Chain A
Amino acid sequence: MTAAAITLPEQQPWTLPYRGKVAMACLIIAESAIFTIFVVAYLFYVGKSLTGPTPREVLETPIFFTICLLSSSLTIHFAGKFLEKGKRIAFLSLWSLTILLGGAFLFGTGQEWHRLIYERGLTISTNLFGTTYYSLVGLHAFHVTVGLIMLLIVAIFAFAGRVGTEHTRRVEVLSMYWHFVDAVWVVVFTVVYVLGR
């Protein structure tokens, strides 16, 4: 039997959302839930450590690296816009700048952890603060790393000349993820370096 052969009473074009964006939005929702739980654990345990260094004693606010990460949201946004207009070189430059800024952020995190572990003696097993701090910041850093790998893959193909205007939508989907990672950092930053002290 052939499928229902009824014509649409309304002769309007039938457009539905782009599946890539919908899927990324869903992933972002799921990831938000996981970050929420780690943030809740962090806030719940603020001030409850029985021993060891407190946030006030050892944390230094990473302003510079935060600016790096948040600017990378701007650069990736404009990179996408340039790609849409077909301006490949501008796209590639801003895309690479995004990767650099993201990489700088990760470097900053690594630097901070090195200082905390070797100079201040704060590890994940030191006390509740250590456990919740490294878990939350580490989970975020993990997501930044995954994002950077994806950005690098696109960069490689772009340098090989394989990325054009027809890929705008897909690049936008990746940008959504990157913006999410930045938004999470705003929350983590507020919770750890502002509220938690």
Chain B
Amino acid sequence: MSSNAITIPGGRVEGKPWVDTLHEWVATVDHKRLGMLYIVYAIVFLVLGGIEILIIRIQLMHSHNDFVSPQVFNRMFTMHGTTMIFFVAMPVLFGFVNYLVPLMIGARDMAFPRLNAFSFWLSAFGGLLLYFSFLGGSGLYGAGNAPDVGWWAYAPLTARAFSPGHSSDYWTLAVLVSGFGSIGTAINIIATILCLRCPGMKLSRMPLFVWLNLVMAGMVLIVITPLSAGQIMLLIDRYLGGHFFDAQAGGSAVLWMHFFWIFGHPEVYVLIIPCFAFMSEIIPVFSRKPIFGYPVMVAATICIGFVSLSVWAHHMFTVGMNSYANSFFAITTMAVGVPTGIKIFNWIGTMWGGRILFKTPMLFSIAFLFQFLLAGLTGIMLACVPFDWQLSLSYFVVAHFHYVIVGGILFALFGAFYYWYPKMTGRMLSERLGKWHFWLFLIGFHLTFDVMHIPGLLGMPRRIYTYEPGRGWDTLNLIVTIGAFIQAVAILVFVWNLVISYFKGAEAGNDPWDAWTLEWSASSPPLPYNFAKVPVVASRRPLWDLKHPEDPDSQYE
């Protein structure tokens, strides 16, 4: 059937003008196409954010370097952080969720396809707006170039007095607009999961992927809006003469911090929970066993969702809260580590007694487990408040959160790419290139981020465009930079794999991994309407039941 193949803009399809293809993609409301648009969009911004960090790393290669001016450097780290969180991580995860959730629950599309498209374009516009700031005008420092206030945009640095011109406004508006897109997607995800499950799929029979993303979407609803609120307040301060964060009028800079981190901390859980979802699908399949402790995994995730709403001020331990507040946030932060640890143990429990296949998705998953464990442990260190008084605002924290975001989220994402690319395109990604990608990236990652902890322990603060010689930071920074370039090469290998496999990859068939959830019963790529007949399920692993009719899961659940 000609509609089986998903065309790419500009790709050659017999007899179909490219304009028509382009129009199809731009006007699509199909969750699968929107999912791929999100993913491709994110990859483009990943490269842009990566260029920004390479500029930073070259500048920091040795002390008193002058590769870029301080103004450019400050824009680079602001744009890098903002890009990676809002225009790489959020879109790519929403892309995977958009693509997979309807397939996994046996639905034909998301609950609100047009809202889906609208949310995507809103978020996409946000990214373009942010990057337009580079062109928005050069001139006086801060007067119309890219934002340079850090991705947290702390008050009062963002006040008109300290950030004249429009650079901060680009940050505010771009993130505000894409935030609304995120809320639209979250509403869509929840409505889809609650209202479009196929017959027999009770909530307790949904794949963990679906459960975890339900929790994630719920968190997005509560968590993005505080940032939007803060940004509206900032705009009121900057343009209507408001005093929300105006110290001169009795306003509070700390209030911005609270509002930002009430968003900012749960946001990182919003980012990691879909990655937990990836792991919960991939690890069982490559261990040939069901996930260990499904109900506990669900409960732990819900627990994480709630507790993570109470930890935000651990980003503010140096701000001068009283000792009771500091202690409160210390205990909640440590507490959220308990359900998180439980999940790691459950994944190991899944591997235990299994028959582990070390294909590329599993390599990335195993690396995820090690790295997420380490990241969690450095997080516990940071939760110990007095220790945090040394570690906070230093490269130790930068190393910690990159361990989570790159070592955790990005590795899980790579696993997801290798696992679901066959479903999305009908072709397998090259295992050979995959292994090159994996090992290069692993080496580069550890070279950079293991070593990066040390300058932090040796007193190197973050967000500095240069540093003094003689503090013992020079060689360490050089090693960090070298690792960054190795990671860049690995990313190029990955992108090359994505492209070349599309044309030359082995045919995947419906179910290349011998997996058990509903998406593997659809064709690769799925038909536009996903399933000819709406499936009916009796257990958590409907395809296991089909393949093992003598021993179906429905007997044990």
CB atoms of A37 and B194 under 8 A apart? no
CB atoms of A34 and B225 under 8 A apart? yes
Chain A residues with Cβ under 8 A from B223's Cβ? Answer: 33
B residues 194-208 with Cβ under 8 Å of A? 194-197, 199-200
Question: Would A135 and B251 be within 8 Å (CB), given that A3-B521, A30-B225, A33-B226 are in contact?
Answer: no
CB atoms of B195 and A27 under 8 A apart? no
Chain B residues with Cβ under 8 A from A3's Cβ? Answer: 106, 518, 521-522, 531-535
CB atoms of A23 and B221 under 8 A apart? no
A37 to B255 Cα, complex, angstroms? 10
A51 to B241 Cα, complex, angstroms? 15
Residue A125 at the chain B interface, CB threshold 8 Å = yes
CB atoms of A4 and B236 under 8 A apart? no
The contact of A2 among B186, B240, B533, B543, by CB within 8 Å, is B533
The contact of B259 among A29, A37, A51, A124, by CB within 8 Å, is A37
CB atoms of A33 and B221 under 8 A apart? yes
| Binary per-residue interface labels of chain B (510-536) against chain A in the complex, 1 for a CB within 8 Å, 0 otherwise | 110000001001110000000111111
| Majority DSSP secondary structure for residues of B touching A | helix
The contact of A19 among B196, B200, B240, B538, by CB within 8 Å, is B196
A residues 35-58 with Cβ under 8 Å of B? 36-38, 41, 44-45, 48-51
The contact of B111 among A14, A23, A41, A131, by CB within 8 Å, is A23
The contact of B242 among A37, A44, A124, by CB within 8 Å, is A124
A33 to B186 Cα, complex, angstroms? 14
**Stretch from B40-48, B227-235, B315-323 at the A interface:** B227-235
CB distance from A184 to the nearest CB of B (A): 13
Chain A residues with Cβ under 8 A from B521's Cβ? Answer: 1-4
Residue A128 at the chain B interface, CB threshold 8 Å = yes
Which B residue sits closest to A8, measured CB to CB?
A: B200
Residue A187 at the chain B interface, CB threshold 8 Å = no
B residues 209-239 with Cβ under 8 Å of A? 218, 221-226, 228-230, 232-233, 236-237
Chain A residues with Cβ under 8 A from B262's Cβ? Answer: 37
B residues 273-290 with Cβ under 8 Å of A? none
The contact of A29 among B197, B221, B228, by CB within 8 Å, is B221
CB atoms of A29 and B222 under 8 A apart? yes
Chain B residues with Cβ under 8 A from A17's Cβ? Answer: 194-195
CB distance from B186 to the nearest CB of A (A): 7
Chain B residues with Cβ under 8 A from A125's Cβ? Answer: 240-243
CB distance from A58 to the nearest CB of B (A): 17
CB atoms of A4 and B251 under 8 A apart? no
The contact of A6 among B222, B224, B511, B545, by CB within 8 Å, is B545
CB distance from A130 to the nearest CB of B (A): 8
CB atoms of B224 and A4 under 8 A apart? no
CB atoms of B187 and A23 under 8 A apart? yes
CB atoms of B538 and A22 under 8 A apart? no
A9 to B545 Cα, complex, angstroms? 14
| Binary per-residue interface labels of chain B (401-431) against chain A in the complex, 1 for a CB within 8 Å, 0 otherwise | 0000000000000000000000000000000
A17 to B193 Cα, complex, angstroms? 10
Which B residue sits closest to A7, measured CB to CB?
A: B536
Residue A18 at the chain B interface, CB threshold 8 Å = yes
CB atoms of A131 and B538 under 8 A apart? no
Which A residue sits closest to B510, measured CB to CB?
A: A1
A139 to B232 Cα, complex, angstroms? 10
CB distance from B321 to the nearest CB of A (A): 14
Residue A31 at the chain B interface, CB threshold 8 Å = yes
The contact of A26 among B186, B259, B523, by CB within 8 Å, is B186
Residue B542 at the chain A interface, CB threshold 8 Å = yes
Question: Would A22 and B195 be within 8 Å (CB), given that A38-B229, A131-B242 are in contact?
Answer: yes
A127 to B518 Cα, complex, angstroms? 59
CB atoms of B190 and A26 under 8 A apart? yes
Which B residue sits closest to A10, measured CB to CB?
A: B200
CB atoms of A131 and B533 under 8 A apart? no
CB atoms of A6 and B542 under 8 A apart? yes
Residue A160 at the chain B interface, CB threshold 8 Å = no
Chain B residues with Cβ under 8 A from A194's Cβ? Answer: none
CB atoms of A14 and B229 under 8 A apart? no
CB atoms of B243 and A33 under 8 A apart? no
Which A residue sits closest to B511, measured CB to CB?
A: A1
CB atoms of B241 and A34 under 8 A apart? no
Chain A residues with Cβ under 8 A from B259's Cβ? Answer: 37, 41
CB atoms of B251 and A16 under 8 A apart? no
B residues 179-196 with Cβ under 8 Å of A? 183, 186-188, 190-192, 194-196
Chain A residues with Cβ under 8 A from B225's Cβ? Answer: 30-31, 33-34, 37
CB atoms of A41 and B241 under 8 A apart? no
Question: Would A6 and B536 be within 8 Å (CB), given that A14-B200, A19-B112, A128-B250 are in contact?
Answer: yes
A44 to B252 Cα, complex, angstroms? 10
CB distance from A27 to the nearest CB of B (A): 6
A67 to B237 Cα, complex, angstroms? 33
CB distance from B126 to the nearest CB of A (A): 17
The contact of A30 among B195, B199, B224, B255, by CB within 8 Å, is B224
A1 to B226 Cα, complex, angstroms? 46
CB atoms of A49 and B543 under 8 A apart? no
CB distance from B73 to the nearest CB of A (A): 32
CB atoms of A4 and B546 under 8 A apart? yes
Which A residue sits closest to B223, measured CB to CB?
A: A33
Question: Would A30 and B112 be within 8 Å (CB), given that A1-B521, A37-B230, A128-B250 are in contact?
Answer: no
Residue B494 at the chain A interface, CB threshold 8 Å = no
A135 to B188 Cα, complex, angstroms? 29
Residue B249 at the chain A interface, CB threshold 8 Å = yes
CB atoms of A16 and B194 under 8 A apart? yes
| Binary per-residue interface labels of chain B (250-275) against chain A in the complex, 1 for a CB within 8 Å, 0 otherwise | 11100100010010000000000000
Using a CB–CB cutoff of 8 Å, the interface residues on chain B facing chain A are 106, 111-112, 183, 186-188, 190-192, 194-197, 199-200, 218, 221-226, 228-230, 232-233, 236-237, 240-244, 249-252, 255, 259, 262, 510-511, 518, 521-523, 531-538, 542-543, 545-546, 554
Which 7 residue pairs are nearest across A and B when measured between Cβ atoms? A125-B241, A37-B229, A3-B535, A34-B225, A33-B225, A14-B199, A19-B195
| Sample of 13 further A-B pairs with CB below 8 A, known A37-B229, A125-B242 | A3-B534, A4-B521, A4-B546, A6-B542, A6-B546, A19-B194, A22-B191, A33-B223, A36-B226, A37-B226, A50-B250, A124-B242, A127-B250
6 A-B residue pairs with CB within 8 Å: A2-B533, A9-B538, A37-B262, A44-B255, A125-B240, A131-B243
Using a CB–CB cutoff of 8 Å, the interface residues on chain A facing chain B are 1-9, 14, 16-19, 22-23, 26-27, 29-31, 33-34, 36-38, 41, 44-45, 48-51, 123-125, 127-128, 131-132, 135, 139
